[in-house]
Structure 1
Amino acid sequence: MKNFKRFALFTVILICLAFGVAVTTNYPKLNIISGFSAKNMCSCVFNDGRSQALTKNQDNNFAPVNLAKNNINNQNKTATATVYGLKARTAVYRSGLGCVLVPTDMDVNTLKKMPSPVRTTKANLLPYPYGDAPQKDTLFENVNYELIDEIVSASFHNNDIQKTRSVLVVYKDQIIAEKYADSLTQDSKLLGWSMTKSVMATLYGILQHEGKLSVDSPAKVASWQNDARAKITYSDLLHMNSGLAWEEDYATISDVTKMLFLTDDMSSVQAEKEAIASPNTVWNYSSGTSNLLAGLLRKEFNNETEYLNFPYRKLIDRIGMKSMLIETDASGTFVGSSYGWATTRDWAKFGLLYLHNGNWNGDQLFDKNWVDYVTTPAPNSDNLYGAHFWLNTKTKLPDAPLDTYYADGFQGQRVYIVPSKDLVVVRMGLASGDAFDFNWFLSGITNAIY
């Protein structure tokens, strides 16, 4: 009996120790899990008008985020999340600025008082993509519509695995295929995640076109001026070739997860990193770099209002992306790495702007040379990356046209630009990688245009 009691006591101690280790190891992660859940719930509900149930069952329904429980306050426009009742995090919606996680030392009402951008979204009688009127029926003899429809429909098969939310195919400025998952419509605003990086880069292309900045100039970071980082240019940052330390790992407590869910001023995180290589010698994908660029953009304006208005006045509203919203962090800086929202049709407009070399129905937003710049492979990137755009290679999308380049976001958000086919293809979803075959998808569509 004594031996049994000793064994039982020993077992209990081991269990307690194991539990203690598990809690110690995983407790810090709860802050990030609840932060992700609260922020995404707030954005889905208040940016797009989705229900809490739909967001829980779709947008937040993946491990470990699905461990969190959320509470919505419609009056205050907040979402609060906890994991096992621990680590409560709250996100608040601000008109024109989207949702943001509330810092522990900041009042919700302070965040709500932040200025909003002024939007100019006048209606016009032109058909899509240049206006709000319906398109005229147009049939192209060189398009196999039946094949495209088959591919688009198949993109939604087994959708508990593929998780496709929308597909839009635009050929010669004409929508030739469009489909949405049951819970969504053409008016649904969808998060582009890292496709926002391509939007952020475009703002630099506009500034350069207007003669207000050269991307070959050293970045204006005061803390870099007395060390090797002083040589880092905007171009090095756009190419992800700064040589700065950065860990882009969403499965752990890393630089990127701490930045997105634990940091009030996201533009400062990459700026504070040390140089581990000379500029333009090592390629390292970094969301911190994109947010640093968002913060540096702020230095080009006299005040906060000019900064907040710039993306909308010079790009977004200028090409009629009325639905688009780029959320800001608690410091008022655009989260240029991740938090751009727009309808599928408006994401396609962004692709069409590049397809037309920066010209929007006669309005030149940026120089054609900018397109050449963003599609030229960054050194050391294995030809996979340009300047905040991804590039096709013979191994990436082997059966699609080699001139394809694209904006790419978490969970399979894509805006494909295919100049040789005069084509833009958008796919929005909640799964990527092996769950969705992008080579089959894009090659099938491009091969249906002769």
Structure 2
Amino acid sequence: MKTLQLLTFFICFCTILSCSSDSDTNDDDAPQTEAIYFPPINSDTWETKTIEELDWNTTELQPLLDFLEEKNTKSFMILHKGKIVVEEYMNGHDANSTWYWASAGKTLTTAISGIAEQEGFIDINNKVSDYVGTGWTSAPAEKEDLITCQHLLSMTSGLDDEAGDDISPENLQYVADAGTRWAYHNVFVKMQDVVEQATNETWDNYFTNKLKDPIGMNGSWTTLGNINVYWSNTRSMARFGLLTYANGSWEDTQILNENFVAEATNTSQDINLAYGYLWWLNGKSTYHLPQSQVEFPGELIPDAPDDTFAALGLNDQKIYVVPSKELVVIRMGQAADSENFALSSFDNDLWIKINALIN
């Protein structure tokens, strides 16, 4: 009997030991997820990754670069999980040159609004007039009272969008109740006034302290008429794209609340499905364009991945973020073809070329 008990114990012990050994082996052999890389704040150092490492189509790189140069591009970058895969300068531009973001910089206002909210200075669901006072539009008082910060960020203020860049009160006329009409409008700039009033800091100081310096951007704001336009080098634009790809974090620091990033990069209202908080969204069934009330069927950029979201600016300034492909793509330059406000046919043409490279 004792012999049988000892034999049973020995078999069980060996089984446990074998399972433990197999478990250790599996842990060691399991593929390790590559962490997102963040370039140092006060350094030009930026780690790279080769096309060969990613098993991309090396023969498609030169056709992509030729296409970009032909289309008046000044700089182009592709990051994969934060590391530079492609970085090219052309048409008289170099790594130290600065260029305007145009409306791609609207997303900087989104980010700063989110930071001000997480710090308790504002609530984007509050009325704009709570921060800047009444009479900031020419709308009837009861209609102005309907406009929240969220409406500014989602382009649904209901104010007349045909007055151009001038956002003085006399040019901000009532057209529809806030939240019932989507129109691409520079009135979003009033969010910068909201932040200034709520924080008791200048827009430039708050931006520099809360976003620019913490992620190592360079550049500055230039006032053109009634709006601020951001200028920087290409890597600074890439840093901001990387911050957004990383859900608002920079290494171990959460610069921008992850939930706010998710809210900003998803449909913000039920009129233009392809628009978040000043971010354009791919993969939706319909979309609207600037200076139009027409609803177009189909995706914003049919040949881009469905989960692409983008900062799009005048004359084809681009930040594309593609979580499924772990990519951030930057394009700066003059208009690829004809002058445009945001989206253009160049977006889809460019993605056909990028797909040939990465697929």
Q: TM-score, normalised by structure 2?
A: 0.75
> Could you say which structure has the greater relative contact order, defined with CA pairs below 8 angstroms and 6 or more residues apart?
2
CA displacement at 1:327 relative to structure 2 = 1.8
CA distance in 2, matches of 1:271, 1:213: 26
Please report how far the alpha carbon of residue 227 of structure 1 lies from its aligned counterpart in structure 2 after TM superposition: 2.1
CA distance in 2, matches of 1:433, 1:378: 30
Give how far 1:193 is off.
0.7
Comparing 168-177 with 219-228, greater Cα deviation is found at 219-228
CA drift of 1:342 comes to 0.7
Aligned mate of 1:150, from 62, 67, 89: 62
Other-structure match for 2:192 = 294
Query: In structure 2, do the counterparts of structure 1 residues 446 and 418 end up closer, same or farther at CA, with 3 Å as the change threshold?
Result: farther
> Would the aligned equivalents of 2:60 and 2:356 in 1 still touch at CA under 8 Å?
no
Q: Which residue of 2 aligns with 1:407?
A: 311
Q: For 2:222 and 2:48, how far apart are their aligned partners in 1?
A: 36
- The answer as to 2:114 corresponding to 1:210 is no
Letter paired with 2:160: A
CA shift for structure 1 position 145: 5.3
Secondary structure of 1:223's partner?
coil
What is the alpha-carbon distance in structure 1 between the residues aligned to residue 240 and residue 308 of structure 2? 15
Residue among 147, 158, 161 paired with 1:232? 147
CA deviations 1:359-394 (Å, max 9, x no partner) are: 011111111111221122233543221111111135
Most deviating of 372-381 and 353-362: 372-381
- Please tell me the residue identity of whatever aligns with 2:45: P
* Corresponding letter in the other structure for 1:185: D
Decide whether the 8 Å contact of 2:160 with 2:174 is kept in 1.
yes
**Residue 430 of structure 1: aligned partner:** 334
Contact 1:168 1:427 in 2 (8 A): yes
Amino acid at match of 1:428: M
Q: What is the match of residue 269 of structure 1?
A: 168
Other-structure match for 2:282:
392
Cα 1:133–1:340, aligned 2, differ >3 Å: closer, same or farther? closer
Change (3 A) 1:296 1:399: same
One of 153, 160, 164 as aligned partner of 1:256: 164
SS at match of 1:155: helix
1:369/1:386 CA distance change after superposition, 3 Å: same
Partner amino acid, structure 1, of 2:86: A
The alpha-carbon deviation at position 303 of structure 1 amounts to: 5.1
Q: Which of 20, 45, 48 is the aligned partner of 1:134?
A: 45
Instruction: Tell me, yes or no, if structure 1 residue 416 matches structure 2 residue 320.
Output: yes
1:303–1:365: structure 2 CA closer, same or farther, 3 Å change rule? closer
Q: How far, CA to CA, are the matches of 1:392 and 1:408 in structure 2?
A: 12
Separation (CA, whole Å) in 1 of partners of 2:49 and 2:157: 47
Residue type of the partner of 1:242?
Answer: S
**Out of 318, 321, 331, which is 2:217 matched to?**
321
- C-alpha change, 1:172 and 1:228, in structure 2 (3 Å) is same
1:318-357 to structure 2, matched below 5 A, reads: 318-322=214-218, 324-328=219-223, 335-336=227-228, 339-357=229-247
Q: Could you list the per-position Cα deviations for residues 377-428 of structure 1 after superposition, in whole angstroms to 9, with x for gaps in the alignment?
A: 2335432211111111353211211110111111100011111111100011
Counterpart of 1:207 in 2: which secondary structure? helix
Alignment partner of 1:283 is 2:182: yes
Alignment check: 8 A CA contact 1:195 1:340 kept: no
Separation in structure 1 between the aligned mates of residue 40 and residue 300 of structure 2, nearest angstrom: 29
TM-score (structure 1 length as normaliser): 0.61
The structure 2 residue matched to 1:373, chosen from 250, 259, 263, is: 263
Gaps of 5+ in 1: 1-125, 248-254, 260-267
Per-residue displacement from partner, 1:251-276 (whole Å, max 9, x unpaired)? xxxx225x2xxxxxxxx526852321
- Asked if 2 retains the 8 angstrom alpha-carbon contact of 1:129 and 1:349, the reply is no
| Cα offsets for 1:11-53 (capped at 9, x unmatched) | xxxxxxxxxxxxxxxxxxxxxxxxxxxxxxxxxxxxxxxxxxx
* Distance apart, 1:446 and its partner CA: 4.5
Contact 2:98 2:232 in 1 (8 A): yes
Give the distance between the partners of 2:84 and 2:106, measured in 1 at CA. Answer: 25
Residues 143, 448 of structure 1: 8 Å contact kept: no
Letter in 1 for 2:195: L
Q: Post-superposition shift, 1:448?
A: 3.7
Which residues of 2 match residues 68-87 of structure 1 at below 5 A?
A: none
Question: What letter is aligned with 2:311?
Answer: A
Aligned CA distance change for structure 1 residues 351 and 135 (closer, same or farther; 3 Å)? closer
Aligned to 1:188: 97
Residues 275, 153 of structure 1: alpha-carbon distance in 2 compared, 3 angstrom cutoff? same
SS in 2 for 1:428: strand
Unaligned runs of 5+ in 2: 1-36, 284-297, 339-343
What is the percentage of aligned positions where both structures have the same residue? 28
Closer/same/farther in 2, CA of residues 370 and 127 from structure 1, 3 Å limit: closer
- 1:246 CA displacement: 1.8
The residue identity in structure 2 corresponding to 1:128 is P
